[in-house]
Each structure stands twice: as C-alpha cells, then as structure tokens.
Structure 1
C-alpha cells in the first residue's frame, strides 16, 4: 500500500514542480531558508526568519507521519493533514506544500478556498466527487475521480471533495505555496470571531433570522 502511495505522491509533487518557476510565493534568492522563530538568528524572508545555514541539518527538510490515517470521526467525515512551512521548516521560500486527505464513507471536505495556492489532487483510494466554482460568472466545474485520477483547483477558487463511495477514500494534494491558507466558507461566514452581524447574513443568504442564529451557534 505505502509503495503505491509513495509513487502517487511523487507523481503529484513532480507535476506541480513544473509550475514553481511562476509560483505565487516569491522566488527564493538562495538555496534554502529554513524557517526559525528566533529573531536573533537571521533575516526575515517570506514570513519567517532564516536559520543560520551552518546550523541546518537534513532533519530541517524532513517530515514523518503521512502514512497515518487522519481522524474522520467528525461532523463532515474528513480530515486534512497539512504539511506546510509551519510543519516542515525547510519549505520556507520554496513555494510548495503537501496535504493528506482522508474521507470516511460519504465524507466531505467542505467548500473552501486557498487564497495563496493552486491545488493539485491525486486520488489514492476510493471515489471522489470534486469541483470548483469560477469567480464571474459562478460556473461549476465538477468531475468524479477514481484511483489514480488527478484534478487541479485554480488558486483562490471555492472547491470541494466528496467521497461518494461506501468505503474510505484517500487522496494527496500538492499546493503551490509554502503556506496556502484555507478559508472554509461555512465556518468563515457563520463562525467568524467576532460574529458577522446577523442582519447582514439574513439579507445576503435570504434566510430566516432563527436559521442564521442557529448556524452561528452551531459552527
């Protein structure tokens, strides 16, 4: 199983690597800039301070654990294990990150956006219904993906992945940013802190006040 997973992850990363010359993150000006939080240790680059190159080791470019399934025992039945610059310091300035996506049967990765990264998804196991919506007009592009299929979600557009099978599903995604960010639409709109004025949401979504108040309490 893991041999197959490694192959597909490699394919996803190599396919995404061809876009790095024009990645959304600024191009690096040095071989690497291992991120470190100590402000006394180096220069501030791409949101992080650079570790002294003399102190860098192979472990700064290493992450372990993507062979472990994520916990899908939640309301939406999915789990995303993101490996970004906060998890793998060596990614700093390299314009790329990776995620493992686990789905319970009929699990959903809800509509969301990555404001700083394009996503390239490869299905390892199961069957996923995926799609994204364009900005203007709001046109839906959707596709059913099976094992070995690949789909790309353009930067910043709302997209989703839904396991339409009766068994668990697994996918990996490469993203064209060291820290692509994620805005889950329902959480952002109904679960912001502090909350958005209910009158705004009532008018925007044409919902009853009680429904809006319920959603704001439940998310």
Structure 2
C-alpha cells in the first residue's frame, strides 16, 4: 500500500513537473517569438531608414563629393543672400544647401551694420534660436494678437528663442557692426516680411486697415517707401552715431493734407 502510494505520488509529481516544464517551454517559445517579432520590426525600420539615408546621402554626394556637405556662408550662392542697405542675411536652407534634406535643420548668418535692423517678420514653419557672435542685438517678439511683447538685448554669446510663427525683429542698437546666427528646426523655415506682405493685399483692404491715415491716391507712393525685405538702418540711431543715412522722402510728405 505504501509502495503504491509512493509510486502514485512520484507519478503525480513527475506529471506536474512535466506540465510545468511544458508551460515554461511554451512561455519561453512565446517570449522568443515576441522578441523575434520586435527585433524583426526594428530591423525592418532600420533597414528602411538606412536605405533611404544612404540613397539620399549618395544622391547629394554625387553632385560634388565631400564638399557637397559644406556650406560657405562667406561665399554662398547669390540666391541664398538677402541683401539690404544696412547688412545682409545668408540662408542655408534646403534650396541652397540640399544636404539639409531630411535633417530637420537650417541656419542663417545675419551680418548687420551699425543701427541695422532685420525688418519685422515671421517664420511660418520653424522656431528660431539665435546666438550673438559679435556686438549686441536687441530683439522683440510676440506670438499672436493680444499677446505680450517680449524684449531683450543680447550680448556676445547670449541667445534667445522665437517660437514658430511668431512676429519678431532683431536690430543692432550700436554704432559698430554686429553678427548673429539663427538655427531652425526645419530645412525650409520660410520667411514672411510683414510690411511688404500687408501692402500686397487688395487696395481697399489696406486702406481700411490704415483707418484713413493714407488716401488711395497716396497709397502707391506709400508702398514705394516700404523696404521689400532684408536689413535697413534706423535713422535716429544713425544720427546718434553721426552716420549719414541714405536720402529718403519724409513719410509726412505722403500723408493727406489736413
């Protein structure tokens, strides 16, 4: 009887052990299958990325070899430079530097003369992070109608950020040249200069927005006084620096007589 009971217990234990081992094997097999599935997914993703990346890099490299990945801000293509009376902006974007495609990045070099100001503008597809490399730069930005205006003056190696789509302006308040670099999180950030954009709207829209300050007869002359884009000098600042500004027609001459 005792022998029979012992045999039965032994068989039961063996059966349980067998079931446990089987379950463990099945679980291990399932885990391995799951791991293999994850690895396969990652591998496919990596292969897709690698193939596209290699293809993209090779396409860029075929144009000029190693130098395809170098952008010379001091010898940039003419189309990459936005020139103005008081400085210029050199733009490394995907259209001027194809190696940026797929990188999510772009960069501008701003070179401002004394009292130079980058006209009020926005970047519809990117935030801008600037750092002053020479001189001093004053900045202002606002994000939307009704928001506060944030103003800062940056010294060399200080930075600020302009959120995507925000209206902003940068100016050199000193009598010496200034330089700063703008980095973007989109290889095609876009630039919208506010005044030229506004005055390109239908005449009645512009006149209504101006609230009668300018007549229809004077609107054409008023438009001609608006700089199209780029960098201009602040005349009062130039006077303070004893620098002669370019002769311009006084804006009061274009306003309707009272």
TM-score w.r.t. length of structure 1: 0.68
1:61 aligns with 2:69: yes
1:204 to 185, 206, 209: 209
CA deviation after TM superposition for structure 1 residue 199, in Å: 1.4
The question of whether the paired residues in 2 share the 8 Å contact of 1:101 and 1:171 is answered with yes
The CA deviation at 1:67 is: 7.9
Q: Could you tell me how far apart the structure 1 residues matched to 2:61 and 2:154 are?
A: 45
Corresponding residue number in structure 2 for 1:168: 177
**Structure 1: runs of 5+ lacking an equivalent:** 1-28, 35-41, 43-48
Separation in 1 of the partners of 2:127 and 2:138?
A: 18
**Structure 2 residues without counterparts, runs of 5 or longer:** 1-47, 227-258
SS at match of 2:204: helix
Alpha-carbon separation, structure 2, partners of 1:106 and 1:71: 20
Once the two structures are superposed, what CA deviation does each residue of 1:155-192 show, in whole Å capped at 9, x if it has no partner? 011101010011000001101110101000011122x3
- Aligned mates of 2:182, 2:124 — CA distance in 1: 15
Residue 120 (str. 1) matches residue 129 (str. 2): yes
Shift in Å, 1:134: 2.0
- In structure 2, C-alpha distance between the alignment counterparts of 1:89 and 1:135, rounded to whole Å: 32
**Residues in 1 aligned to 2:61 and 2:143: alpha-carbon distance in whole angstroms:** 46
Query: In the alignment, what sits opposite 2:190?
Result: 181
Which residue matches 1:91? 100
Higher helix share: 2
Query: Is the contact made by 2:91 and 2:109 (CA closer than 8 Å) also made in structure 1?
Result: yes
Question: 1:133 deviation in Å?
Answer: 1.0
Please give the alpha-carbon distance, in whole angstroms, between the structure 2 residues aligned to 1:62 and 1:131.
32
Q: 1:54 to 1:94 in 2, by over 3 A?
A: closer
Contact 1:116-1:156 within 8 A present in 2 as well: yes
Alpha-carbon spacing, 1:53–1:156, altered in 2? closer, same or farther (3 Å): closer
Cα drift, residue 215 of structure 1: 2.4
Rounded Cα–Cα distance in structure 2 between residues aligned with 1:73 and 1:89: 22
Deviations along 1:114-165, whole A, 9 cap, x unmatched? Answer: 0011000000111111011121423201101111110100001110101001
Q: 1:116 to 1:73 in 2, by over 3 A?
A: closer
User: CA, structure 1 residues 51+142, in 2 after alignment: closer, same or farther (shift >3 Å)?
Assistant: same
Asked if the contact 2:130–2:180 (Cα under 8 Å) also holds between the matched residues in 1, the reply is yes
More strand by share: 1
SS in 1 for 2:219: helix
Which residue of the other structure, out of 143, 148, 158, is the alignment partner of 2:152?
A: 143
Q: Give the greater-gyration-radius structure (CA).
A: 2
Q: TM-score, normalised by structure 2?
A: 0.59
Could you say if the C-alpha distance between residues 123 and 199 of structure 1 is closer, same or farther in structure 2, counting changes exceeding 3 Å?
A: same
Partners of 1:120 and 1:131 lie apart in 2 by: 13
2:129 aligns to what SS in structure 1?
strand
- Count of residue pairs brought into register by the alignment: 172
How far apart, CA to CA, are the structure 2 residues paired with 1:123 and 1:32? 38
